[in-house]
Structure 1
Amino acid sequence: MKPLQGRVVLITGASRGIGAATAVLMAKAGADVAVNFFSSESEAAKVVAQIEQQGQKAIAVQADVRNAEDVKRLVETTVNQFGRLDVLVSNANINFAYKPFMEMSWDEFSEKLNGEMATAFRLCQAVVPHMEKQGGGKIITIASGLARTPSPNFIAHGSAKAALVTFTKYLAQELGPKNITANVVSPGLVLTDATKHQPKEMHEMMANLTPLHRLAQPEDIAGAVLSLAADWNSFATGVYLPVNGGMDLS
């Protein structure tokens, strides 16, 4: 049996990059998938088509996951379509100001922090009642290595992701008695549309810092997500899983 046979997965920010790769891999593992997108409708439709080619069901649902009403509609649409919701992958990218601390305004900093945390908070409050009703579920949040290893100009992003990591651990503690696990996947640098503009020299330097001597592809992160979502992995909760090619071996 496939490790997600009969399961339903909701993935936010699933039209491109890590989210799209995760959606396709979940389908290969036997899941039906709700593909959330914000503005990339055509890209989301392509992901749905790929999932259907795997013999699984999929829907594309537009929603701004920073918005409370959109989150409620997204979760209700998923449950109404598939009858259940087993796995939430909170992956949607929240834009952030890229600048030094002393050049950043509080509004710029708090916009990222509030957007990241409001998204996770609302999504989890929306899905937990459904998971509890059906006897359990899995929540997987996508953080960043910058949550633990600072890098210049990433203070807003890294601080928000660090808050997300701690939030997820609190979820693991509180939701465990409901048979709901909560884990973090923390990628290093991943080759996606969001990073392709970065200098080639930087990519080469970062690759050389890893024992594997390469950067991650979205599929590498998707594999880590599947490892936590699979039915045979039922005892891991509160886990912080770095997926960075061994860049940080501490």
Structure 2
Amino acid sequence: MSRNTTTHDEFSDRTILVTGSSRGIGAATAKELAERGGDVVVNYRTSEDRAEAVVDSITDAGGEAIAVQADVRDPDAVDELVATAESAFGTIDVLVNNANISFSRTPFLEHPWDEFRDKLVGEIRAAYNCTQAVTPGMLEHEYGRIVYVSSEATRTVRPGFSSHVVAKSALNGLARSVATELASEGVVANVISPGPVRTEASADVLEQFEDQLIAETPMGDLAEPRDVARTVALFASDDASFVTGTRTPVNGGLLVE
């Protein structure tokens, strides 16, 4: 199924940090926002080659981007990440909290607490650290866009995904709290909630369930990373300046509200 694409310059002079953007949704988001004029910081934890490839793709197309390594669960690393970003491009205007902490698909009653905790705490700490680090600059300029990438798994709970469901549900709560507290200061925060997306990370699940999921999806297809990226772009832009505290599904009608 073809999908129309558009390009704009709405992010000219905007500094954008996309966490976990060496591949998948994060990489697509970094490229999309750069294509629309943003100066993009491609964050990665271990995949340096992939992150540099994303940067090369952006710069080869005439955009501006740098790759910066940081484990966003570490507050000191996040402080260094933000300092590097601001040194290169200026105060961060847009934060896309996309970094996803890996987890094992384990039945709840067999799930060791240590593994469960690592997913839950890691997910929230990453978003917490990044939000805390960029917000002072946003408040100083009375402008900021924060987008949290969550998951429709919080609504379509499947066996073995308990730690993921709980972590993303907590992320949704964090986003609502941030939105409520910062709205009067010119900073908006929203959640993008993808359903099944064709990425490397989802390949093993889709190998089993892709045909079933497509059959259940009214639009007759699954999302590609750029479908999510374009939705992120909307909420990162001035077009959504009076929208905050929302959760937007990107699922082709698989779940409707």
TM class, shorter-chain normalised? Answer: over 0.9
Residue 83 of structure 1 deviates from its aligned partner by 1.4
Is the 1:3–1:232 contact (alpha carbons within 8 Å) kept by the matching residues of 2? no
Residue number in structure 2 paired with 1:11: 18
Q: Contact 2:145–2:237 (CA<8 Å) still a contact in 1?
A: no
Partner of residue 229 from structure 2, selected from 222, 233, 245: 222
Paired residues for 1:1-250 under 5 Å: 2-198=9-205, 200-250=207-257
CA distance in 2, matches of 1:199, 1:184: 24
1:51 is matched by which residue type in structure 2? I
Distance across 1 between alignment mates of 2:237 and 2:67: 22
Q: Give the Å deviation of 1:63.
A: 0.6
Q: Under a length normalisation based on structure 1, what TM-score does the superposition of the two structures give?
A: 0.97
Contact 2:145 2:189 in 1 (8 A): yes
Deviation at 1:205, TM superposition (A): 0.5
The sequence identity of aligned pairs, in percent, is: 44
| Whole-angstrom CA distance in 1 between matches of 2:58 and 2:228 | 18
SS at match of 1:129: helix
How far the C-alpha of 1:201 sits from its partner, in A, is: 4.5
The residue type equivalent to 1:2 in the other structure is D
Structure 2: how far apart are the matches of 1:198 and 1:109?
Answer: 20
| Structure 1 residues 189 and 56: alpha-carbon distance in aligned structure 2, compared to 1, 3 A threshold | same
Structure 2 CA distance for partners of 1:45 and 1:207, relative to 1, 3 Å: same
| Aligned-residue offset at 1:199 | 5.1
Equivalent position of 2:4 in the other structure: none
3-state SS of the aligned residue for 1:88?
strand
Deviates more, 1:194-203 or 1:220-229: 194-203
On the 8 A contact 2:27/2:54 being kept in 1, the answer is yes
Distance 1:21 1:5 in 2: 18
CA contact (8 A) 2:43 2:68 kept: yes
Give the superposition deviation at 1:232. Answer: 2.3
Cα displacement (A) at 1:82 = 0.6
Alpha carbons 1:148, 1:162 under 8 Å: kept:
no
- Give the counterpart letter for 1:114 in structure 2: V
Q: Where does the alignment leave 5 or more consecutive residues of structure 2 unmatched?
A: 1-7
Residue 54 of structure 1: CA displacement?
A: 3.0
Aligned residues between the structures: 250
Find the residue that maps to 1:61 and give its secondary structure: strand
| Alpha-carbon distance in 1 for matches of 2:239, 2:219 | 28
Q: What TM-score comes out, normalization by structure 2 length?
A: 0.94
Q: Unaligned regions of 5+ residues in structure 1, if any?
A: none
SS in 2 for 1:175: helix
For 2:108 and 2:168, how far apart are their aligned partners in 1? 16
